[in-house]
Amino acid sequence: MGEGSMQFDPDVTVASPSRVYDYWLGGSFNFAVDRELGDRMIAIDPTIVPMVRDNRSFLRRAVTWLCEHDVTQFLDLGSGIPTVGNVHEVAARLRPEAKVAYVDCEPVAVTMSTRLLEGNPNATITHADLRDWQTVLAAPTVAGLLDFNRPIAVLALSVLQYFDEAANPAETIAHYRRALVPGSYLGITHISADEAGVDMVGLAEATRKAAVSAHLRTREQVMRLFGDAQLVPPGLVRVGEWNPQPGAPAAVPGIFGGLGRVP
């Protein structure tokens, strides 16, 4: 269920982070330029693939935790290319009534999501830049699906790293947080500037010629993105350390993640 019937013509000469991410996860919605950047980043640091898979696993565990705590509405900002284990798929297994509003500005992500969600009354895709929070919150595919008088989980997973400090991502997220009722949640994951042994600087530098480039933040800077949201245990940790399944492999360094409750 998408917003309108727009057709998009992606620029296949410039790599897109969402398509590179899709490539690393084994998806098929990527182009040669995306695979070239993805392989270049793997050469810089081979842990990048297990790192993003840890991030994807965090999404599944966080959505499961939220459903188990009676949160059945989700606003997924920068949702990316639809792959196995999307928010609406994970949520629907536990709470069939769950509603998910996806938001992305990348043409391929929007087109593929529109096709995937066709005929699904509980999930939508909105073509918008998440920084334009007023447009996002007023979009029929968001406001017409989610009830902002009830708790909502806003997810910003591995997306705020594509905005530098001049773009003020903390203020952008604060606008979304202010639109939520108490008992809502904010989920954030972000690449780290603090991890020894991981060439995050090299990985970030490799994205400079992509459609958008990555910006490192320290754990303390990522903490500030949560504003007054109160982090649930175990707090802001490596994504693989956030409520892992029994017997899960050791967490891969590189990405911090957490879930905060709106007071």
Q: pTM of the full predicted structure?
A: 0.88
Residue 194 lies in a domain: yes
pLDDT (tens digit per residue) in 180-193: 999 999 999 999 88
Domain that holds residue 191: 17-261
The mean pLDDT of 72-81, rounded to a whole number, is: 95
Residue 257 lies in a domain: yes
> At 150, which CATH number?
3.40.50.150
Choose the most confident range, by mean pLDDT, from 12-21, 30-39, 222-231: 222-231
Residue 171 lies in a domain: yes
Residue 108 lies in a domain: yes
More confident residue, 207 or 217: 217
Residue with tokens 């202010």: 178
pLDDT (tens digit per residue) in 99-152: 999 999 988 889 989 998 999 999 999 999 999 999 999 999 999 999 999 999
The answer for residues whose C-beta is within 8 angstroms of residue 148's C-beta and 6 or more apart is: 179, 180, 181
Residue 12 lies in a domain: no
CA distances from 62 to 68, 149, 154, 210 (A): 10, 22, 11, 29
Residue 11 lies in a domain: no
Residue 156 lies in a domain: yes
Total of domains in the chain: 1
Residue 9 lies in a domain: no
